[in-house]
Amino acid sequence: MTLDVVRKLLLRRALPFAARKNSTGVQAWCKAHGVSNSHACEFLNGQRNPTSDLLAALGLEWRVMRKIRR
């Protein structure tokens, strides 16, 4: 799973929390799940990697694995 897929997943999960029509709902989603809003916004803007609390709220984990040679 790439970082872009995680960004799309976050936006999809946050959409039901949108208060207005043109809102993403990320701020309300972060508040409901105990995630830092500033870290989530920086992740969505590509300025940082996802934090552990953000990944846990999405049901994901960060795992570093060895690449298999073919």
- Over residues 31-48, the pLDDT tens digits come to 999 999 999 999 999 999
67 within domain boundaries: no
70 within domain boundaries: no
Structural domain for 45, as ranges: 3-58
65 within domain boundaries: no
Local confidence band at 62 (pLDDT 50, 70, 90 cut-offs): confident
Residue 38 CA to residue 44 CA, distance in Å, equals: 10
User: Is residue 55 a contact partner of residue 43, using CB atoms and an 8 Å limit?
Assistant: no
28 within domain boundaries: yes
68 within domain boundaries: no
What are the tens digits of pLDDT across the range 49-61?
Answer: 999 999 999 999 9
Q: How many domains does the chain have?
A: 1
63 within domain boundaries: no
Residue 62 CA to residue 70 CA, distance in Å, equals: 24
Local confidence band at 6 (pLDDT 50, 70, 90 cut-offs): very high
